[in-house]
Amino acid sequence: DADVTQTPRNRITKTGKRIMLECSQTKGHDRMYWYRQDPGLGLQLIYYSFDVKDINKGEISDGYSVSRQAQAKFSLSLESAIPNQTALYFCATGNGVNEQFFGPGTRLTVL
């Protein structure tokens, strides 16, 4: 089984809809991250959490919110999706020392 899982893997939605992307991990790491990947821009950090009670904004948090339901779960929400949020979204975990482990990604299309 994969260490970091993301659901759904693909999602098409309409402008104005609320959508939640979910991430679960079995690595036992305290730190979890949400990134957005756009062609030519690399990965941009949306939000990160160093433990269940710690949530921090990243470079591009506007239009997004997160929830850390447990050590193993970190969800990303788009309250009112817009077309420029069409992207590939990655969840990652980290042990705070020297590596991040990535999920397989969620491809989101907002029409």
Residues forming the site for other proteins (CB under 8 A): 4, 33, 35, 40-43, 45, 48, 58, 90, 92, 94, 96-105
CA–CA distance, 24 with 36 (Å, rounded to integer): 17
Closest distance to other proteins from the beta carbon of 85 (Å): 19
CA–CA distance, 85 with 66 (Å, rounded to integer): 15
> Which residues, in sequence order, are bridge partners of residue 65?
77
Helix, coil or strand: residue 85: helix
Structure tokens at 13: 């939605």
Closest distance to other proteins from the beta carbon of 4 (Å): 8
Closest distance to other proteins from the beta carbon of 78 (Å): 20
When the beta carbons of 85 and 93 are compared against other proteins, the nearer one is 93
When the beta carbons of 4 and 78 are compared against other proteins, the nearer one is 4
